[in-house]
Amino acid sequence: MSEEEFRGVLARLAGGVVLVSAHDPDDGPAGAPAGMTATAFLSVSLDPPLVLVSVRTGSRMDEVLTEQPLWAVSLLSQEQRVTAGRFAMRGRLSDRLLFREVPHVLGEHTGAPLLKDALAGLECRTESRVPAGDHTLVVGRVLGTHLGGMAGAPLLYYQGAYRHLA
């Protein structure tokens, strides 16, 4: 199997888009928020409540989560496509500046930014880390949930593009 074939198959798996975030204690004197767009996110266990995100080794978020066990996940709505794009850019200058443009609150359990316009959010503490090829599976215990009013429409990623439900 070639890498192209592998990618081609997985491109046909529709995924919900999330923003993984954390307070990076090493960014500046007071630390700063960090965020990364991800689709490799899933629920793992109900009792205890566990979720998992797969983070590319060497990415900024990988470095942050190595030091910071507290993090959050915002489930993005279809209105947050631009935000998803911004937090997916490699070598971007500053997440601190990006977060200034996006309404958010700092989670009470984690200090991690949760996007106000997201469909829902979770706050987590890392329970275990599993190296897996060029990624690390970060399993988090859910410390708190954030559920807005009526759920809006989710942002999806499919065949290399952001999509909406029909």
Ligand X SMILES: Cc1cc2nc3c(=O)[nH]c(=O)nc-3n(C[C@H](O)[C@H](O)[C@H](O)COP(=O)(O)O)c2cc1C
Q: Using CB under 6 A, list all residues that contact ligand X.
A: 17, 36-40, 54-56, 59-60, 87-88, 90-91, 157
Amino acid at 27: D
Instruction: Give Cα separations from 54 to 27, 61, 65 (angstroms).
Output: 23, 10, 11
Minimal distance, residue 54 CB to ligand X, in Å:
5
Quick one: 108 or 158, whose CB is closer to ligand X? 158
Pairing of β 135-147 and β 156-158: unpaired
Minimal distance, residue 114 CB to ligand X, in Å:
18
CA 78 to chain centre: 15
Minimal distance, residue 160 CB to ligand X, in Å:
9
Quick one: 108 or 128, whose CB is closer to ligand X? 128
Measure the CA–CA gap between 141 and 130, rounded to whole angstroms: 14
Quick one: 54 or 66, whose CB is closer to ligand X? 54
